[in-house]
Amino acid sequence: MHMRLKGIHSAVMRLADGTTRTYHYAWRGGPRLTGEPGSPEFVASYNKAIARKAALPVGVLLAILTKYQNSDAFRQLTERTRKDYAIQIKIIERAFGDLPVAALPDRRTCGIFMEWRDKLAEKSRRQADYAWAVLALILSWAFDRGLVTHNPCERGGLLYRASRVDKIWSDADEAAFLAKAPNQLRLPLMLALWTGQRQGDLLRLPWSGYDGEFIRLRQVGSPLKLALNEAAQARRSPVILLNSRGMPWTSDGFRTSWGKACAAAGIVGLTFHDLRGTAVTRLAVAGCTEPEIVTITGHTLKDVRSILDANYLHRDPALAERAIRKLETRAKREPI
């Protein structure tokens, strides 16, 4: 007997190997259903999800977590972010799903949350901070909508503080990567180094965004222009960056392949994200002003200053040498 189930949300996911798989959820943002559509297992998992939703208690944190996952704010996140948030929300739910919302203003609640984060930090300080950040974000969302009167995670700070000081791709790193990396990963390196754009933006960059001279509103450097023009001769997709199967990269697939290529090239401690800071650094060393760097990389002036001041340059000797040369030139023009 065919049974029509209401509200089911289906999503087609591309896996790292290039194949696709369709997942079904009880509702958008709801739990994933098991079994094949129409099978007894599928119907049973749907009924279980609906029953749990109908029996959802009010006045507890679980209700807030569920409301957020059904909200437009959650749906507008990228697929990757929704997946990551869902993992953290499950962790929060297991720990505090039955916590009364009325307890949030109590100062002791913040202490309870911090003890929970400290426990998570025994395994990973970064993941503990991530879970805390997701909880703080959801409570902030609920506070803005009048669902809670207090957010005890608002000023919790961070346990893990990463430093990207000196995390710069050197010319030797670049050469080693290009020598070992497969063809499909060389152009992403060039794009990142010459544009300073984020990985996600580069993986989505269409050919329509490149006119032979500019990427959108940014002029292309000669080495990148040569690489793009060469790739354009064999273009097989509206998207510029493709995997070895000629398909657009998934974020997971790209991350895995990039990591393998770095390992093969002997590159340790550097990430794709570090290429953004490397681009900013190279532009600064080349003599670009902060506003000029902003027009290329898309950072804000504040971000560029932060990168140059704290995270990446770290007293770059090339900048020091250039500054001394400028001082010497001025001294020759204007003898003291």
The pLDDT value recorded for residue 100 is: 93
Q: Which domains are seen in the chain, by residue range? A: 1-55 (no CATH), 57-162 (1.10.150), 171-323 (1.10.443.10)
How many Cα atoms occupy the beta-carbon half-sphere of 228 within 13 Å? 26
Residue 48 neighbours by CB distance under 10 Å: 14
Residues belonging to the chain:
336
Structural tokens at position 241 = 């960056």
Q: Which of 5-9, 304-308, 318-322 has the lowest mean pLDDT?
A: 318-322
| SS3 label, residue 27 | coil
Compute, in degrees rounded to 10, the torsion defined by CA atoms 259, 260, 262, 264.
170
Of 22 and 309, the structure prediction assigns the larger pLDDT to 22
Which residue reads 């009167």 in tokens? 149
The residue-averaged pLDDT of 206-214 equals 85
Residue 4 has pLDDT above 90, yes or no: no
Residue 1 has pLDDT above 50, yes or no: no
How many Cα atoms occupy the beta-carbon half-sphere of 210 within 13 Å? 24
The pLDDT value recorded for residue 218 is: 61
Where b means 16+ CB within 10 Å and e means fewer, 260-273 reads: ebbeebebeebbbe
Enumerate the β-bridge partners of residue 206.
Answer: 239
Q: Please tell me the pTM assigned to this model.
A: 0.53
Residue 167 in contact with residue 270, Cβ under 8 Å? Answer: yes
Q: Which of 92-96, 123-127, 137-141, 317-321 has the lowest mean pLDDT?
A: 317-321
pLDDT digits (tens, 9 = 90+) for 176-207: 999 999 999 999 999 999 888 888 889 988 99
**Distance between CA atoms of 41 and 47, rounded to whole angstroms?**
10
pLDDT digits (tens, 9 = 90+) for 115-151: 999 999 888 888 888 899 899 999 999 998 899 998 9
The residue-averaged pLDDT of 274-302 equals 83
The residue-averaged pLDDT of 76-81 equals 82
